[in-house]
């Protein structure tokens, strides 16, 4: 089969379309003829040599896929060749074929393209687990979502809107903020022009927010804590702004703050199956009904994976970047 490989860690130029052996499904897996996959920041980190795949997973990039079942492992699990499925994988999506545990392969809703389906798993699963499972966001609460033009956050904005939360966002341009508002955000702050902590204080009348979803990390730490109201919850999803901080523990104690960290890729298979089941029960019906939608910025052919990575690293996208296979 054809797949995108990297001979050495480095920039986007190390990505090449190569011929590699077909994957072989285990008893619990199905082999999928991949029709579309999607980019994630984890792919960029893996390409740079900073985020290796979990033990036992393929070295091929790609954390989500959509396609048709080609072969079924011995356990079967109710799937048959030809069925259209999508789901989360530990790696291997940037290829013509990939394997996925049958318990994580979800049926593609009627009328959906493969590109639409591929844009869902990583970002909607992450938003589900960070905003709701960990952050416990409730109706009537206010959430601050950083890096709001990302795939995860374009999903999270819609999900928070559906439960009746007030949504504040940060993004790097007025256009991105306007598009977030169109998805359901209440208001936005251009972090390049204004201190978001002062802005949050202003728009919440000094109260702060109940939940923050943060992809930046160290660079936002102090301002995040100042932006939370008493009893607030900070969920760290990424560390694009650094990993080390000097923490004011007194502020954590006096405001009774809760800090959560979250990664998805390294979770156990049992955890990922449970996450998939939560998603299928609560959010997939809303997606199938069109009440919430995957946001796709641009589609590249698989052979142009390097160009797609450059595009992501330039922060040009609003929503997901898709690779068609």
**Contact in structure between 295 and 318 (CB atoms under 8 Å):** yes
Integer Cα distance of 224 and 208 in angstroms: 10
* CA quadruple 284, 61, 4, 152: dihedral, nearest 10: 50
Tens digit of pLDDT at every position of the chain (325 positions): 999 999 899 999 999 999 999 999 999 999 999 999 999 999 999 999 999 998 889 999 999 999 999 999 887 678 999 999 999 999 999 999 999 999 999 999 999 999 999 999 999 999 999 999 999 999 999 999 999 999 999 999 999 999 999 999 999 999 999 999 999 999 999 999 999 999 999 999 999 999 999 999 999 999 999 999 999 999 999 888 888 888 888 888 999 999 999 999 989 999 999 999 999 999 999 999 999 999 999 999 999 999 999 999 999 999 999 999 9
CATH of 2-120+265-324, one of 3.10.20.310, 3.90.180.10, 3.90.550.10, 3.40.50.720: 3.90.180.10
- What local confidence, expressed as pLDDT, does residue 250 receive? 85
Domain boundaries, the chain: 2-120+265-324, 123-261
* Radius of gyration in angstroms for the set of CA atoms belonging to the chain, rounded to a whole number: 20
* CA quadruple 133, 134, 137, 143: dihedral, nearest 10: -140
Identify the three-state secondary structure at position 169. Answer: strand
CATH class of 123-261: alpha beta
Integer Cα distance of 169 and 209 in angstroms: 11
Packing angle, helices 174-183 and 151-163, rounded to 10? 40
Integer Cα distance of 41 and 238 in angstroms: 9
């Amino acid at each position: 089969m054809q797949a995108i490989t990297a001979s050495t860690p480095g920039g986007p130029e190390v990505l090449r379309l190569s011929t590699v052996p077909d994957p072989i499904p285990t008893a619990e897996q199905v082999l999928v003829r991949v029709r579309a996959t999607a980019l994630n920041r984890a792919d960029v980190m893996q390409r740079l040599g900073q985020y290796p795949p979990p033990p036992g997973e393929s070295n091929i990039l790609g954390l989500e896929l959509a396609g048709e079942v080609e072969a079924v492992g011995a356990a079967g699990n109710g799937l048959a060749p030809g069925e259209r499925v999508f789901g989360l994988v530990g790696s291997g999506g940037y290829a013509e074929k990939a394997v996925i545990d049958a318990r994580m392969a979800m049926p593609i809703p009627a009328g959906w393209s493969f590109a639409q389906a591929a844009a869902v798993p990583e970002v909607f699963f992450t938003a589900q687990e960070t905003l709701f499972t960990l952050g416990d966001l409730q109706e009537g609460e206010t959430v601050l979502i950083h890096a709001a033009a990302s795939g995860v956050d374009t999903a999270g904005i819609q999900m928070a809107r559906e439960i009746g939360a007030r949504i504040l966002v940060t993004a790097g341009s007025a256009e991105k903020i306007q598009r977030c508002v169109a998805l359901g955000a209440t208001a936005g702050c251009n972090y390049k022009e204004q201190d978001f902590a002062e802005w949050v204080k202003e728009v919440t009348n000094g109260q702060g927010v109940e939940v923050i979803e943060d992809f930046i990390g160290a660079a936002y730490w102090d301002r995040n804590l100042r932006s939370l109201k008493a009893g607030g919850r900070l969920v760290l999803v990424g560390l694009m702004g650094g990993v080390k901080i000097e923490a004011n523990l007194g502020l954590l104690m006096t405001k009774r703050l809760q800090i959560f960290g979250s990664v998805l890729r390294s979770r156990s298979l049992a955890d990922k199956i449970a996450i998939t089941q939560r998603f299928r029960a609560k959010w997939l019906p809303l997606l199938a009904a069109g009440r919430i939608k995957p946001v796709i910025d641009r589609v590249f052919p698989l052979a142009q994976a390097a160009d797609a990575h450059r595009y992501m690293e330039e922060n040009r996208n609003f929503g997901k970047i898709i690779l068609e296979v």
